[in-house]
A and B are shown apart, each in its own frame.
Chain A
Amino acid sequence: MLSRWLPFEKPLVEIEEQIEELKRLAARENLDLSDKVRRLEDHKRAVMEQMFAELTPWEKVQMARHPKRPYPLDYIGALCSEWLELHGDRAYGDDGAIVAGFGRFSGRAVAIVGNQKGRDTKERQERNFGQASPEGLRKAERVMELAARYGRPIISLVDTPGAACSPDAEERGISEAIAHSQLIMSQLPVPIIVVITGEGCSGGAIATALGDRVLMLEHSYYSVISPEGCASILYRDPAKAPESAEALNITAEDALRLHIIEEVIPEPLGGAHRDFGLMCKSLGATLERHLGELSQIPGPQLIEQRYARFRRLGDFEEQPSVAHPELNGNGPKEAASQLNGL
């Protein structure tokens, strides 16, 4: 039972145990303790409200990785009246880390791609913890291109600790697969809505995150590198991941402030897994609103707007020009490159 609690949720464990105890007592002794139970539940709610409003970036990472966190197939099952999953990259294999297919969402036929992590040890291995292989990304690409041919909007649900990290993935061109998926997504003349539902980590995330709208669930994170990876490089100590999570600005609020995303989708109190029904309701309503808006826009214009959306991302300044001394032909000769015989 305890394993479903994250370390920072400890204060809640005690309150919940008290509530359970009271309920047991009431049943055993046939007492009416509902007043006391209600008071404790109010107290628990107050504690939770404060706790989850003030999560640190590292605590959000733990929320995003929560073993009970809903995965794309959970959302698809709850939000789609029909669902047909498609398989394989038509070249090498089928990657369980990526699910892709067509479904019907609030009456509208859509394509959905997502990273699927797996619930138990066996499934986690089969799905490689949601880390897409080149085959997975090529499958997603194939399904998205098919969607575009039939004018179907695309929903991409991102939840990955990164792309596959293995010799096989390298041999079959994981770099190229990530790059090409972005290139293709930038050119599809149908609406693309991306939702970071859990982990949005590194190249594996951006591979399927080139959308007209990019949204994040409240307790998901989006980062160029995992906090542990950053800590290994920066502090030579993966245990410093909490500090790295802070430095990297990876929360949904950070991404919104940096104009990386359009919107943060609130989660039920305590996280998406505590009230999946409510989570689906707000996710579904948000998707429907964005789909409605985007479906008004002609395909070529969508492509232009999507390009402009990513085009403006970056933070730099324009300083007075100084040409590099070794370049531009007219630089001082003594500083010229030492390479001879060119």
Chain B
Amino acid sequence: MATAGSLKDTLKTRMGITNSESAARLEEIPEDLMTKCDNCGTLLVTKDWLRDLKVCSRCGYHARLSAPERIELLVDPDSFQEWDTSLAPRDPLHFPGYQEKRTAAQVKTHLKDSCVTGAATLEERPIAIGATDFRFMGGSMGSVFGEKVTRLLERALEEKRPAIMVISTGGARMQEGLLSLMQMAKTSAAVARLQNAGVPYIVVLTDPSTAGVQASFASLGDVIMAEPGATIGFTGARVIEQNLKIRLPKDFQSSEFQMEHGQLDLIVPRAKLKETITQFLGLLLD
């Protein structure tokens, strides 16, 4: 979403406003009245854009959502009870700049780390749900993230609640080194137990879903659905291009690309996610 300042600049240019009177009137427009689509640049009325769940009515671009927004989107109103709010990251490797980066992310997001988990109901069915927040250090998975996901999966197993994970991440958090890598093993092993017990586990991939997270619990859902146009993959396209000295098509690693290659069950527009998950759970369980 573009800032108000640049929006007004865009308006000025588009409308050819040069005289000071018009410019002054433009200043009176509330800052958040309009929102520019990050993909096609269309100016959208913010109120309509929010009603459309931050999906562009013109090009269908799904803007990124925060973890709290994700959860609110998918659960019954006021049903969410957050789990493990006490878990906070440390700096086991004394990694250069980690504490500063993390503190900045904490201030920005009001989150302790990049993953939010908890209990909720979905059309009155008890579920366990977690979402990752890309604003928090790229939604990266360190010890807290891995622990929260594992506890969510374990608790889902214990209480026989279907588990839902909504992904938005750049992968493992390099600032926690090997401890981050181990979260891949830990979470994948927890999924295995859920599978054995016959508790459904649903993954929703959103933009972006890549690297270490994608190569662990995010690829292990009983059903994997993705929002349209998300970037999904293991190695980033830019890295592959540099390593192999090739050019990749623009849609490489898009949801549609992954669907075509058999890596997804469904592509589901944001507005249909809740009902699709509900339907799937009903078909498995009712």
Q: Taking beta carbons and an 8 Å cutoff, which residues of A are in contact with B? A: 163, 165-167, 169-176, 178-180, 182-184, 186-187, 202-203, 205-207, 209-210, 222-225, 229-230, 233-234, 247-250, 254-255, 258, 260, 306-307, 310-311, 313-330, 337-342
Contact = CB atoms under 8 A, between A and B. Distances in A.
Interface in B63-105: 65-66, 68-69, 71-73, 77-82, 85-90, 92-93, 95-97
B285 interface: no
Contacts of B197: none
Contacts of A234: 96-97, 174
A217 to B, nearest CB: 16
B234 A324 contact: no
B162 interface: no
B215 A321 contact: no
Nearest to B143: A314
B90 A316 contact: yes
Contacts of A327: 68, 71-72, 80, 82, 116, 118
B186 interface: yes
Given A163-B234, A310-B189, A339-B72, A223 B81 contact: no
Given A182-B185, A321-B86, A223 B143 contact: no
B152 interface: no
A337 B252 CA distance: 32
A171 B77 CA distance: 39
22 contacts: A167-B246, A175-B215, A175-B219, A179-B220, A182-B185, A182-B216, A186-B185, A210-B189, A230-B174, A248-B95, A248-B177, A250-B178, A314-B182, A316-B90, A316-B144, A324-B82, A324-B110, A324-B111, A326-B66, A329-B79, A340-B47, A342-B77
A315 B176 contact: yes
A337 B219 contact: no
A169 B181 CA distance: 20
Contacts of B176: 224, 315
Contacts of B85: 321-324
* 3 A-B pairs closest in CB distance: A329-B78, A314-B143, A186-B189
Contacts of A341: 51, 53
Contacts of A330: 78
Nearest to B180: A224
Most buried by B among A202, A230, A233, A341: A202
Contact of B178 (A167, A183, A258): A258
B158 to A, nearest CB: 14
A171 B249 CA distance: 13
B6 interface: no
Interface stretch (B7-15, B16-24, B237-245, B276-284): B237-245
B243 to A, nearest CB: 5
Contacts of A222: 178, 181
B192 interface: yes
Contacts of A307: 189, 193
A323 B97 CA distance: 27
Contacts of B183: 313-314
A314 B174 contact: no
B4 to A, nearest CB: 15
A249 B72 contact: no
Contacts of B199: none
A183 B189 contact: yes
A174 B234 contact: yes
B88 A316 contact: yes
Contacts of B139: none
A112 B146 CA distance: 29
Given A171-B261, A327-B82, 19 more contacts: A163-B215, A165-B235, A166-B240, A170-B233, A173-B263, A174-B215, A182-B185, A182-B188, A186-B192, A224-B180, A248-B95, A313-B185, A314-B147, A315-B179, A316-B90, A318-B87, A318-B88, A324-B110, A327-B118
Contacts of A338: 50
B96 A247 contact: yes
B17 to A, nearest CB: 28
B211 interface: yes
A187 B212 contact: no
Contacts of B81: 328-329
B119 to A, nearest CB: 11
B92 A324 contact: no
A206 B47 CA distance: 46
Contacts of B143: 314-316
Nearest to A232: B239
Given A176-B219, A321-B85, A165 B96 contact: no
B150 A311 contact: yes
A166 B234 CA distance: 10
B215 A248 contact: no
B163 interface: no
A248 B243 CA distance: 22
B184 interface: yes
B192 to A, nearest CB: 5
B29 interface: no
A130 B64 CA distance: 36
A178 B234 contact: yes
A316 B147 contact: yes
Given A186-B189, A203-B184, A224-B180, A167 B240 contact: yes
B7 to A, nearest CB: 17
Contacts of B234: 163, 169-170, 174-175, 178, 203
